[in-house]
Amino acid sequence: MAAEFSTSGGNTTITATWTAPTQRILKVVSGKAHEQWDRGAGNHGTEKTPVVWEDLSNQDKLDIWFEYVTMMSTNDAKAYDLASAKKEVEITDDDYDLGQ
């Protein structure tokens, strides 16, 4: 997989390319997208006109997969930042030891 940053003004675009056998990519993308679909991601239509998994195109599945990857990357970055900030301000009993 190759990725690159492209910055223009105040915006940055990340472009990633993943080349692998078609069946492998479809298996990975479809597998995770289906799991997310089962959890409510994607367009499920309406009660009157429902959309079922079999109706989705490969692009629809890729969109669900990409939304998941973006969300997880953002959540992981937030968790890392919180853990780092917590570590910086950890207070121990030794910090209050008055030597008595």
Q: What mean pLDDT is reported for the chain?
A: 91
* This model's pTM is above 0.85: no
- Reported as a single tens digit per residue, the pLDDT across 68-97 is 999 999 999 999 999 888 877 776 667 666
Burial class of 50 by CB neighbour count within 10 A (0 to 12, 13 to 18, 19+): exposed
Distance CA 44, CA 36 (A): 12
